[in-house]
Chains A and B, each alone.
Chain A
Amino acid sequence: MIPPQFDYVRATSVEHALELLAEHGDDAKLLAGGHSLLPMMKIRLANPAVLIDIARIPDLSYVRDEGGTLAIGALTKHAMVASDPLVALNAPLLAHSAAQVGDPQIRNRGTIGGSLVHGDPAADLPMAVVALGVTLVVVGPSGRREVPVEDFFEGYFQTAVGEDELLVEIRVPSRPGVGWGYQKFVRRANDWAIVGVAAVGAGADAQVALGNMGNKALRASATEAALAAGASIADAAALADEGTEPQADMHADAEFRRHLVKVLTRRALESAAS
């Protein structure tokens, strides 16, 4: 419960953070809200020699309306994403999912960037951004690149952000007035999802993402295709587990997860349609 020894440096800007990453290489880890990284260090699953604290880099915490796109800084805290009026208007699903993360203490420390780069398939924000079809802005030694969310999550705790890179912004397509649904199946209010479903839009336009149904947040492609072909919500939802590889753990085995995801997809689509 006490992490091994490590050095600590505070980055003052994005450039500074990149320099520090270059200097310390594999031994270093970026520290944002610390609510995923520090627990892993305390149970000694992560042993970085250097922590590069990016939490106080100015200008990485914001929500901006850029006309058709909502730009959210990587260091924006869950609590701010949950309560920001621009997010509520243009991407209410994102606001809602941020409000489901843990408890108030966690939402006031954890950042959207940290949650996405952590890449936990059971987390809230990854499935929300997959459903929303966001673009992620990453900077590194070779400059700035934009990664579509389809290419961002790579597997368990793995994303397209390289060891020497920083996620700086999340760009969310603004869809005011578009229906959405969010189903987080939990034992207790502040747990991670046993299975989660995020849906935006209805009918042929519906985009559906699944949490904890594989090694990363997934699109429910078969469901989306069925809807596009005119299937009913119930029929389309019955295909939600196609192409998924849910794991078994003490909360649910794969069969139960496959069952749950169909029920939850139907419910999410029903609320998106209403």
Chain B
Amino acid sequence: MRTFRGAVKNNPMSILGTRVLRTEDPAFLTSGGVYMDDLVDERLTGSLYATFVRAPIAHARILDIDISAALQAPGVVAIYLSGDVPLADRRPPSPTFDKAMVQPLLAKGKVRYVGEPIAVVLTEEKYQGEDAAELVMVDYDALPAVVNPRLSADSVKLFDDAVSNQVGTFGSADDFDPDFFADCEVVFTHEIVNQRVAVASMEGRGGVSVWGEDGRLTAWISNQGAQGSKTALAAMIGIPADQVRVITPDVGGGFGAKFGADTEHGIISWASRELGRPVRWVETRYENLLGMTHGRDQVQTITIGGKRDGTILAYRLEVLQDVGAYPRIGAILPSLTRLMTPGTYSFKTESRATMVVTNKTPVGAYRGAGRPEATAAIERAVDFFALSVGVDSAEVRRKVLLPKFTEPHTTSTGAKYDSGDYETALNLACKSIGYDELRREQAERRARGDVKQLGIGVACYVEITGGGAESGAPHENATVEVHPDGTATILTGTSPHGQGHATAWAMLASDQLGIPIDKITLKWGDTDLIPEGGGTGGSRSLQQGGAAVQKASIELIELARERAAELLEANPEDLQMDTSIQGLKVAGSPGAQVTLAELAAKERLFVRSVFTAPGATFPFGAHIAVAEVDTETGHATLKRILAVDDAGTILNPLLFDGQRHGGIGQGAAQALLEEFVYDEDGNPLTASFADYPFLSATEVPSYELVTMETPTSYNPMGAKGVGEAGTIGSTPAVQNAVIDAVAHLGVRHIDMPTSAQRVWRAIEAAAAGGASASGGTVGSGGIASPDATATGIASHSTPDGKVSTPTSENEAI
């Protein structure tokens, strides 16, 4: 399927497209990275340690805070409460949201989620902080906790001055076409939950702040883009952005949750200025699971209609986004979910979203950020339809996939897909995994009535990269400099935290300049050195940051050509770049040449370039998962997962596959295991890794990766983003596989995570001829489709074109 190799290719021996080993790994594997807690710097001598006192209760008025005992504790230098800190509340991230829903940096009058910072304790030593924090006595007047987003509208208001608990909406039911499903023979509707997950990066959040004698703030922050962190931090503490320098140490994962700056960073920066000493803060895992923004958390109502022969005609998506206690970026993400509503299909769609606050951790971006929610919804809906009309799920998709296109295709929601070939991806996936053979094996097991049944889950996806809300405008800068010793330095506005930019960006420069990659150093994450940049998120880095490196390298050759022409007294046009000598030669006169290093020795040789993309790109693919379900216990095991991912031209297959590995694992984990659970009082039940189940190597099979390369025309490399694709395709594939394994028993839906209890209950309910689907949290009642018929299918005929949407009475979260 290699349709294309690098668009810009001067070098016949190009390393582009080859499996170059990661240059960053030897240091990580030997001396280790320097993460937030490892930081040693003379500017940090005499640092204080910040410990946050956090709310132990989900919703309450604060009647009194007594810090007198804590102030007496050993090592305590200061304790600050909301009233002590003159920093402005954070406003909601969109002007269309309810303006009363502001977030104080420390809880003011009320606490709204377990884990909300109430006070900060500053101590000489780190361990003293936890002891002292325990002595801060807070008197609460408990309020009813709003936990179920479905009931949020009618519950006690979180913000006294807000109109309600509704943050805002995208689209409205009034815009829905009353005849939307009129031409459908069958229509199915169901509520599905895209559950709340913890980001749980290996390294949590952290920061160190110190003020210089020049009055400027230097802040080390574990982040995904120093420049964005600088802007956010400056805004929080109310100083001009040029008065802040943000430095990025090695970062142990972010997944979208480390963009910008958090309230804790604002507080420690302010405290550092107040006390005239550096202040350090590194969160514990408990704080991380409560304090770092969570991901997903949408209740989706899907309605899908079509013909009995399996042709889907119309699909409607209604999203209820639980944004947690304060609207952060998570309140915006449903707009991306809406944008991606149509997925890879040609049938008509309509959608709307409502965002509400609840007494839970605020929701932010999490690998995929808004797009996985769209894919999960439509892929589940399509499978629901396929199972219900009894047509093979791959076949149902083939009938309605958008045909291959090379010119941009604009969807009904306004997304401009740059290029796509969805059917080839699906067919390639089916062929590679042996789809027909698997269906035969499934039929045999069903016929035998085996305890362990086989499920095959298909998911087609298209997603949007290099345009996500968290990633800034589609442009990026890079500076490439060649030094007199023949080495080179690249400055980038992207912010690697595991992806491998040091290798990839060096490959791009090396390809143009001939300088070996081990002689090229990448620098990022220091806003004094690199004042502008969009950071790394939304799978944007290669297509924009890498493209900028390539552009700067090409422009550097042009600059060198002019200088060489002068030096060699030749026409610039007669000079040829020769990567084998890392310099320029005069055509036809042997010996007349000069290297880039020699030119650099005479005058600094560097170029800063900005690459601007015409728009976002839309990678796509098809994932197929094979699950085995023990029908006696409900336990689901993922047996195989095959991914066809097409993110355009591949720069380095090793890095490409690395992104897919992590993404597929993370996506499968959401389908099988992960859920951040609250009880009915808003107490978190999964605030440690003993309870919050990330996936381990024992729960996944070896990945089967099949590559497809359909280049984009939006950058010279032809590359799209692959950082999130794995997460987007695998989640619905795995969920569909688990459901498919028990579909012959009458089951049509099981919410994620597909826990043993949920699977077992779904089987039991279907056997009893009752509800076809199960979901919700154990102990609080499952979601049953109230309209489920005896066959376990939620079906509505639509003589008048009206569809009744089931309402749910459950308490599930």
CB nearest to B696 among chain A residues: A188
- The number of chain B residues with a CB under 8 A from chain A is 31
Q: Is B284 an interface residue (CB 8 A)?
A: yes
A248 with B693: CB separation less than 8 A = no
Q: Is B14 an interface residue (CB 8 A)?
A: no
Contact of B778 among A2, A39, A248, A263 (CB under 8 A): A248
Q: What B residues does A248 contact at CB under 8 A?
A: 778-779
CB nearest to B758 among chain A residues: A256
Which of B124-132, B452-460, B471-479, B738-746 is found at the contact surface with chain A?
B124-132
Q: Is A252 an interface residue (CB 8 A)?
A: yes
Q: Is B698 an interface residue (CB 8 A)?
A: yes
Q: What A residues does B134 contact at CB under 8 A?
A: 4, 44
Contact of B696 among A43, A189, A249, A260 (CB under 8 A): A189
B777 with A250: CB separation less than 8 A = yes
A190 with B696: CB separation less than 8 A = yes
Q: Is A5 an interface residue (CB 8 A)?
A: yes
B286 with A43: CB separation less than 8 A = yes
Q: What B residues does A43 contact at CB under 8 A?
A: 286, 688
Q: Is B139 an interface residue (CB 8 A)?
A: no
Q: Is B285 an interface residue (CB 8 A)?
A: yes
CB nearest to B678 among chain A residues: A250
Given that A1-B285, A43-B286, A190-B696 are contacting pairs, would A260 and B633 also be in contact in the complex, using a CB cutoff of 8 Å? yes
Q: Is A259 an interface residue (CB 8 A)?
A: yes
Q: Is A194 an interface residue (CB 8 A)?
A: yes
A251 with B755: CB separation less than 8 A = yes
CB distance from A218 to the nearest CB of B (A): 20
- 0 or 1 for each of B762-778: is its CB under 8 Å from A? (1 = yes): 00000000000000011
B286 with A191: CB separation less than 8 A = no
B699 with A188: CB separation less than 8 A = yes
Contact of A187 among B127, B284, B673 (CB under 8 A): B673
- The number of chain A residues with a CB under 8 A from chain B is 25
B685 with A250: CB separation less than 8 A = yes
A191-B285 Cα distance, complex, nearest whole Å: 18
- 0 or 1 for each of A228-257: is its CB under 8 Å from B? (1 = yes): 000000000000000000001111110010
CB nearest to A259 among chain B residues: B760
A189 with B688: CB separation less than 8 A = no
B699 with A1: CB separation less than 8 A = no
B698 with A252: CB separation less than 8 A = no
Q: Is B5 an interface residue (CB 8 A)?
A: no
CB nearest to B632 among chain A residues: A263
CB distance from B115 to the nearest CB of A (A): 14
B693 with A191: CB separation less than 8 A = yes
Q: What A residues does B286 contact at CB under 8 A?
A: 1, 43
Q: What A residues does B686 contact at CB under 8 A?
A: 250
A188 with B131: CB separation less than 8 A = no
Q: What A residues does B432 contact at CB under 8 A?
A: none
Contact of B130 among A1, A187, A252, A259 (CB under 8 A): A1
Q: What B residues does A188 contact at CB under 8 A?
A: 673, 693, 695-696, 698-699
B677 with A250: CB separation less than 8 A = yes
CB nearest to B695 among chain A residues: A188
Q: What A residues does B155 contact at CB under 8 A?
A: none
Q: Is A185 an interface residue (CB 8 A)?
A: yes
Q: What B residues does A1 contact at CB under 8 A?
A: 130, 284-286
A43-B779 Cα distance, complex, nearest whole Å: 25
Contact of B633 among A44, A185, A189, A249 (CB under 8 A): A185
CB distance from A41 to the nearest CB of B (A): 12
Q: What B residues does A5 contact at CB under 8 A?
A: 131
A-facing residues in B691-730 (Cβ within 8 Å): 691, 693, 695-696, 698-699
A251 with B778: CB separation less than 8 A = yes
Q: What B residues does A194 contact at CB under 8 A?
A: 756
Q: Is B82 an interface residue (CB 8 A)?
A: no
Q: What B residues does A39 contact at CB under 8 A?
A: 690
Q: Is B757 an interface residue (CB 8 A)?
A: yes
A256 with B757: CB separation less than 8 A = yes
Q: Interface centre among A4, A194, A251, by most B CB within 10 Å? A: A251
CB nearest to B451 among chain A residues: A263
Q: Is B399 an interface residue (CB 8 A)?
A: no
Q: What B residues does A190 contact at CB under 8 A?
A: 696, 698
Q: Is B308 an interface residue (CB 8 A)?
A: no
A189 with B699: CB separation less than 8 A = yes
A251-B698 Cα distance, complex, nearest whole Å: 19
B-facing residues in A21-55 (Cβ within 8 Å): 39, 43-44
Given that A2-B127, A43-B688 are contacting pairs, would A253 and B757 also be in contact in the complex, using a CB cutoff of 8 Å? yes
Q: Interface centre among B285, B695, B696, by most A CB within 10 Å? A: B696
Given that A4-B131, A260-B633, A263-B632 are contacting pairs, would A187 and B755 also be in contact in the complex, using a CB cutoff of 8 Å? yes
A210-B779 Cα distance, complex, nearest whole Å: 22
A259-B688 Cα distance, complex, nearest whole Å: 28
CB distance from B137 to the nearest CB of A (A): 16
CB distance from B676 to the nearest CB of A (A): 11
A31-B708 Cα distance, complex, nearest whole Å: 56
CB distance from B227 to the nearest CB of A (A): 32
Q: What A residues does B695 contact at CB under 8 A?
A: 188
Q: Interface centre among A190, A256, A263, by most B CB within 10 Å? A: A256
CB distance from A107 to the nearest CB of B (A): 15
Q: What A residues does B126 contact at CB under 8 A?
A: 2
Q: Is B635 an interface residue (CB 8 A)?
A: yes
A112-B699 Cα distance, complex, nearest whole Å: 27
Q: What B residues does A264 contact at CB under 8 A?
A: 633
CB distance from A204 to the nearest CB of B (A): 26
A259-B757 Cα distance, complex, nearest whole Å: 10
A250 with B778: CB separation less than 8 A = yes
CB distance from B310 to the nearest CB of A (A): 35
B130 with A2: CB separation less than 8 A = yes
CB distance from B813 to the nearest CB of A (A): 11
A-facing residues in B776-806 (Cβ within 8 Å): 777-779
B778 with A252: CB separation less than 8 A = yes
A100-B284 Cα distance, complex, nearest whole Å: 28
B127 with A256: CB separation less than 8 A = no
Q: What B residues does A259 contact at CB under 8 A?
A: 760
A44-B691 Cα distance, complex, nearest whole Å: 17
A246-B659 Cα distance, complex, nearest whole Å: 42
A87-B732 Cα distance, complex, nearest whole Å: 45
A160-B779 Cα distance, complex, nearest whole Å: 32
Given that A1-B130, A1-B286, A189-B698 are contacting pairs, would A253 and B673 also be in contact in the complex, using a CB cutoff of 8 Å? no
Q: What B residues does A249 contact at CB under 8 A?
A: 778-779
CB nearest to B131 among chain A residues: A4
CB distance from A135 to the nearest CB of B (A): 31
B-facing residues in A167-215 (Cβ within 8 Å): 185, 187-191, 194
Contact of A253 among B131, B284, B633, B778 (CB under 8 A): B778
A50-B134 Cα distance, complex, nearest whole Å: 20
Q: What B residues does A44 contact at CB under 8 A?
A: 134
Q: What A residues does B778 contact at CB under 8 A?
A: 248-253, 256
Q: What A residues does B779 contact at CB under 8 A?
A: 248-250, 253
Q: What A residues does B691 contact at CB under 8 A?
A: 250
CB distance from A116 to the nearest CB of B (A): 20
A-facing residues in B624-644 (Cβ within 8 Å): 632-633, 635
Q: Can you report 13 residue pairs joining A to B where beta carbons are below 8 Å apart?
A: A1-B284, A4-B131, A5-B131, A39-B690, A185-B635, A188-B699, A189-B698, A189-B699, A190-B696, A194-B756, A250-B691, A251-B778, A260-B633
Q: Which 4 pairs, one residue from A and one from B, show the smallest C-beta to C-beta distance? A: A189-B698, A1-B284, A256-B757, A2-B130
Contact surface of B with A, Cβ cutoff 8 Å: 126-127, 130-131, 134, 284-286, 632-633, 635, 673, 677, 685-686, 688, 690-691, 693, 695-696, 698-699, 755-757, 760-761, 777-779
Given contact pairs A39-B690, A188-B699, enumerate 20 new A-B contacts (beta carbons under 8 Å): A1-B130, A1-B285, A1-B286, A4-B130, A188-B696, A188-B698, A191-B693, A250-B685, A250-B686, A250-B691, A250-B778, A250-B779, A253-B757, A253-B778, A253-B779, A256-B756, A256-B757, A260-B633, A260-B756, A263-B633
